[in-house]
Amino acid sequence: MPKPIWVVGGGLAGSEAAWQIANAGREVILYEMRPLRNTPAHTSSFLAELVCSNSLKANNLENASGLLKEELRRLDSLLMAVAEETKVPAGGALAVDRQRFAQGVTTRINQHPRIKVIRAEVTSIPPDQPAVIASGPLTSPLFSAWLQELFGEEYFYFYDAVAPIVTRESLDREGIFAASRYGRGEAEYLNCPFNEEEYTRFWENLVTAETHQSHLGAAEKRYFEGCMPVEVLAARGKDTLRFGPLKPVGLIDPATGKQPYAVVQLRPENKERTLYNLVGFQTNLRWGEQARVFRLIPGLSRAEFVRYGVMHRNSFINSPKLLDLSLQWKGGRPLFFAGQLIGVEGYVESTAAGWVAGKNILRQQEGKPPLIFPRETAIGALINHIINAEIRHFQPMNINFGLFPPLKEKIKGKLKKNRAIADRALITLENFIVETLN
């Protein structure tokens, strides 16, 4: 009787890996340290808790994130199935009711006959124990120390930020309009339009607001560009936000019939649409400063904040040096890694890495060759980048079309080109499934 496979970490990657392993007939022990040991970002004991946003990003195939979701659906991903069951309106994006999503994943995992969930902190793994390590960017200090000793080198790291959430009933709806950019989707975003004077006042207060400093040494302020604190972006120049998260393109204010000077978008956090997330407003401002500055946003003058933005340290390993394309450690032990710990950034990206690690540890245990996804697929493009990135300057990465091999033919127009890359990816994936998984 083969020993159960360990999965360390009950986040998105760990939950997906455990599910894929168990569904293939192998016993799994899933270790999750919460609630016995909490993290600075999590608020519940549910598996697969979403801590930064409730959005899994774009859902259309002209977007690389939408393509990655479609690939995972075709691979029978647990998390994509639960996301569909718990989705909330979000225009062209796939957003979920985060509590129902986490509850749904937790229930499925707990009810699986071949998965045993143990609430305990893992501090080391026995030499002959096969395991998927998906302990996440907030890996505990003791387990981090063991990994450092195992690898014989330091972690890289960055700081990640979480956006605040406000209640719908506290919003001033007179100055806010509902619309999705370019009229796509169900117009479920609420848009707070600035004129030039309002924006200037907001920007001046934002760049002079007080931030949390006690745990951020000057030498350690390295931010991931895909989750940059709004005040850091603002400090780069007065118009940086207007060409970034506050860009007004594709939106018309019905009160004026014109495009606003800048726009803050609010995205529903739950199906009841009683809570809204400030899109792109990850922040390290002090809580009192958040209330003061963000209430300068049109429509938010009386906003009730049910969660303020927070900052926490996120760790990730030097994957190009440590892992191969199957996500196995090159050190020879049956250890596979997945999720944000390997340097993929994003919910769906973490899920994909969990799927790959789960499938490949099974194949390694069965003496089969690993699954190496073609670079033409979104999963293959992402994993290939993570494993073959430049070792000295390795940084986390989201899925994007810049990671894919170029098309053989030239196609004019960004959306047409992206769709052609997506069509090629899905055809390649179907052939890969037939050749390797069936």
Q: What does the pLDDT look like over 67-87, one tens digit per residue?
A: 999 999 999 999 999 999 999
CA distance linking residue 132 with residue 328, whole number of Å = 9
Position 414 scores a pLDDT of 86
Q: Of 31-40, 258-267, 286-295, which gets the smallest average pLDDT?
A: 31-40
Answer yes or no: pTM beyond 0.85.
no
The amino acid occupying position 165 is I
Identify each DSSP E strand in 144-247 by its residue range.
Answer: 156-161, 165-167, 177-178, 190-194
CB 191 within 8 A of CB 179: yes
Residue 264: its H or E element: strand 262-268
Q: Reply yes or no on whether the pLDDT at 40 is more than 80.
A: no
Say which CATH class 165-309 falls into.
mainly beta
Q: What pLDDT shows up at residue 218?
A: 44
Residues of the chain with CATH 3.50.50.60: 5-157+315-437
Q: pLDDT tens digits for 380-421?
A: 999 999 999 888 778 788 899 889 998 999 999 989 999 999
**pLDDT value of position 21:** 98
pLDDT at residue 157 in the model? 72
Average per-residue pLDDT in the chain? 91
Q: What are phi and psi for residue 162, nearest 5 degrees?
A: -115, 135
Above 50 in pLDDT, residue 327? yes
Residue 158 in this model has a pLDDT that exceeds 90:
no
Dist. CA 267–CA 358, nearest whole Å:
33
The pLDDT confidence band at residue 368, using thresholds 50, 70 and 90, is very high
Q: What percent of the chain has pLDDT over 70?
A: 95
* Burial zone of 128 (CB within 10 Å; 0-12 exposed, 13-18 middle, 19+ buried): exposed
Q: What distance in Å separates the CA atoms of residue 93 and residue 91, rounded to the nearest whole number?
A: 5
> Does residue 217 have a pLDDT over 50?
no
More confident residue, 43 or 387: 387
The model's confidence at residue 315, banded by pLDDT at 50, 70 and 90, is confident
The DSSP code sequence of 203-221 is HHHHHHS-B--TT--GGG-
Predicted confidence at residue 214, as pLDDT, reads 42
Residues of the chain with CATH 2.40.30: 165-309
Closest CA to 406 of 371, 436, 381, 433: 381
At the top level of CATH, which class does the domain 5-157+315-437 belong to?
Answer: alpha beta
pLDDT of residue 185: 64
Q: In the prediction, which pLDDT does 221 show?
A: 55
* 3-state secondary structure at position 39: coil
* CA pair distance 298, 332, nearest whole angstrom: 57
Q: Percent of the chain beyond pLDDT 90?
A: 71
pLDDT of residue 394: 80
Residue 290's pLDDT band (cuts 50, 70, 90)? very high
pLDDT at 11: 96
